[in-house]
């Protein structure tokens, strides 16, 4: 069971009783990581109906303290010098507003030691890179209600098999290029961009990718054009020999001396009619910061997953699966705290949960206007206000952030469970 009281379990369970509950939950063989991951996307499809959705995915490594005699069944991460789990997750983001609409899918795994077979000699199904194709397949399933889907990911996902097999009508891809590839017309991909005309300059907002980096503005120049990439030599021969794509190059003009200059080569299946369309695609790629923020919240701010003392890899995987969902909700609530996107409560909460939210409003309101819930009944923003109040936000000073929302969600679930139990008792024990 739980070896020691930990910050992580305190936060999930609230108290000693909750901690044992979480221990039981993690030990329960019927609750598998796969089942928790499958439940991530329950509310996402309906929230995406009719929209152009960016399905943004990324992998993060969660390391745990281990010692040689006690590895907890964890495999190597971080180039093999630490032990932990890998978490791959995909979120749905509204391409027009940037609002996070929930989780789409992903997977959580641990490595069995450093694989002795070089990457290129492994069959595709055994490569970790399959996760990018699997996530894209999950996007096709879960996001069927969307009008259009664009899968957005970083350099690790620049995989020929993906370019050749994933896109279909209504499902696009936007990925940062990693490989300098041969082109059907001769020459190489990276050099091709040099021949494209510059399509304009703009100042864009760069958010920090790692702690310690500062947020800054960068003036960038964009160029774009069509390319036809060739199937690599060692690639599966059943894949088409070439794939037609658009290449965009985004390069910082006069970068500051102390900063790493921005230089993105983006490949996409989208047509680029003009400079405005090119800038729109740059904007979509920039929304990748939402998943980076979610992974940061999962690892540190909200759940302190890396501090967890849970004893086995299997239970840590389940804990991580719960933490991903919790972090996604924290991001959704933080984004919607002012009602900016006018999302319905159903984006995050079930019907009965929204009833509990509404029942809590009068008990949390104060006498002044500042202390009233200003958002319409049934809206996600109205729920954000309630959860923030439960998390200790006092209606004044700075707006609530992910940590306040996490604290509030734990309170909320405890109250909601109590309320459901009370309602069941009232129904079952009919006093004449
Ligand atoms: Mn990545």
Q: Do 82 and 225 belong together in one domain?
A: yes
Judge if 87 and 177 occupy the same domain.
yes
In a domain, 372, yes or no: yes
pLDDT value of position 127: 76
How far does residue 156's CA lie from ligand 1's centre (Å)?
6
Q: Please, what is the average pLDDT of the chain?
A: 88
According to the model, what pLDDT value does residue 110 have? 87
* Kind plus residue range of the DSSP H or E element containing 256: none
Q: How far is the CA of 59 from the centre of ligand 1 (A)?
A: 5
- The structure tokens 């259009």 sit at 148
pLDDT of 114 strictly over 90: no
Assess whether pLDDT exceeds 50 at residue 152: yes
Average pLDDT over residues 341-350: 96
Both 188 and 221 in one domain: the answer is: yes
- 1 found inside a domain: no
Within a domain: residue 266?
Answer: yes
Which of 298 and 152 is assigned the larger pLDDT? 152
Judgement on whether residues 345 and 294 belong to the same structural domain of the protein: no
The pLDDT of residue 6 is above 50: no
Q: Is 260 helix (H, G, I), strand (E, B) or coil?
A: coil
The rounded distance, in Å, linking the Cα atoms of 335 and 344 is 13
pLDDT at 19 over 60: no
**What pTM does this model have?**
0.90
Q: Where are the beta strands (DSSP E) in 298-393?
A: none
122 within some domain: yes
Q: Read off φ and ψ for residue 355, nearest 5 degrees.
A: -65, -40
Into how many domains does the chain fold? 2
What's the confidence (pLDDT) of residue 80? 77
383 Cα to the center of ligand 1, angstroms:
32
148 backbone dihedrals φ, ψ, rounded to 5° = -155, 145
- Within this chain, do residues 245 and 365 fall inside the same structural domain, yes or no? no
pLDDT at 420 over 70: yes
Q: Which residues contact 153 (CB under 8 A, 6 or more apart)?
A: 56, 57, 58, 132, 174, 175, 176, 288
239 and 372 share a domain?
no
**322 and 387 share one domain:** no
If asked whether residues 249 and 277 sit together in one domain, one would say yes
Instruction: Provide the pLDDT confidence category of residue 113 given band limits of 50, 70 and 90.
Output: low
Mean pLDDT of 292-303: 81
Say how far apart CA 62 and CA 334 lie, in whole Å. Answer: 23
Q: Evaluate if residue 228 carries a pLDDT over 70.
A: yes
CATH number at residue 24: 3.90.350.10
- For residue 57, the CA-to-ligand 1 centroid distance in Å is 8
Residue 332 has pLDDT above 90, yes or no: yes
Residue after which a domain boundary falls, among 274, 295, 326:
326
What pLDDT score does 4 carry?
37
* pLDDT value of residue 14: 46
Measured in angstroms, how far is the CA atom of residue 86 from the centroid of ligand 1?
11
- Of all residues in the chain, what percent carry a pLDDT higher than 70? 88
Q: Please give the distance, rounded to the nearest whole angstrom, from the Cα atom of residue 155 to the centre of ligand 1.
A: 7
- Rounded distance from Cα 154 to ligand 1 centre (Å): 6
> What integer pLDDT is reported at residue 82 of this predicted model?
83
Q: What is the pLDDT of residue 89?
A: 97
Name the residue range of residue 380's domain: 336-428
Confidence of residue 118 (pLDDT cuts 50, 70, 90): low
């Amino acid at each position: 069971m739980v070896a020691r009281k930990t910050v992580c379990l305190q936060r999930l369970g609230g108290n000693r009783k909750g901690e044992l509950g979480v221990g039981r939950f993690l030990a329960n063989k019927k609750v598998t990581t796969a089942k928790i991951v499958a439940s991530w996307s329950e509310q996402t499809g309906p929230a995406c109906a009719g929209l152009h959705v960016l399905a943004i995915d990324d992998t993060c490594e969660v390391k745990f303290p281990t010692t040689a005699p006690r590895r907890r069944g964890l495999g190597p991460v971080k180039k093999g010098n630490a032990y932990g789990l890998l978490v791959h997750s995909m979120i749905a983001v509204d391409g027009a507003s940037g609002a996070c609409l929930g989780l789409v899918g992903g997977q959580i795994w641990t490595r069995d030691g450093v694989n002795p077979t070089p990457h290129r000699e492994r069959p595709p199904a055994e490569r970790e890179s399959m996760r990018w194709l699997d996530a894209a397949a999950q996007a096709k399933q879960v996001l069927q209600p969307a009008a259009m889907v664009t899968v957005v990911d970083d350099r690790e996902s620049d995989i020929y098999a993906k370019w050749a097999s994933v896109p279909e009508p209504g499902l696009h891809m936007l990925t940062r290029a990693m490989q300098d590839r041969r082109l059907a017309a001769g020459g190489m991909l990276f050099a091709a961009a040099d021949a494209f005309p510059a399509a304009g300059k703009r100042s864009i907002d760069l958010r920090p990718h790692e702690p310690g980096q500062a947020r800054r503005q960068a003036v960038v120049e964009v160029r774009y054009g069509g390319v036809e990439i060739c199937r690599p030599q060692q690639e599966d021969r059943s894949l088409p020999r070439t794939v037609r794509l658009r290449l965009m190059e985004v390069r910082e003009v006069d970068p500051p001396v102390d900063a790493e200059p921005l230089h993105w080569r983006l490949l996409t299946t989208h047509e680029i009619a003009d400079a405005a369309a090119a800038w729109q695609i740059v904007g979509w790629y920039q929304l990748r910061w939402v998943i980076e923020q979610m992974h940061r919240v999962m690892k540190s701010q909200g759940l302190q997953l890396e501090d967890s003392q849970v004893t086995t890899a299997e239970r840590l995987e389940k804990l991580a699966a719960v933490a991903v969902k919790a972090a996604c909700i924290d991001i959704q609530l933080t984004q919607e705290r002012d009602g900016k996107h006018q999302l319905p409560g159903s984006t995050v909460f079930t019907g009965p949960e929204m009833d509990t939210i509404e029942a809590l409003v009068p008990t949390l309101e104060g006498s002044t206007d500042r202390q009233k819930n200003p958002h319409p009944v049934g809206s996600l923003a109205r729920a954000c206000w309630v959860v923030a109040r439960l998390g200790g936000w006092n209606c004044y000073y700075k707006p609530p952030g992910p940590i306040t929302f996490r604290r509030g969600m734990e309170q909320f679930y405890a109250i909601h469970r109590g309320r459901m139990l009370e309602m069941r008792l009232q129904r079952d024990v009919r006093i004449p």
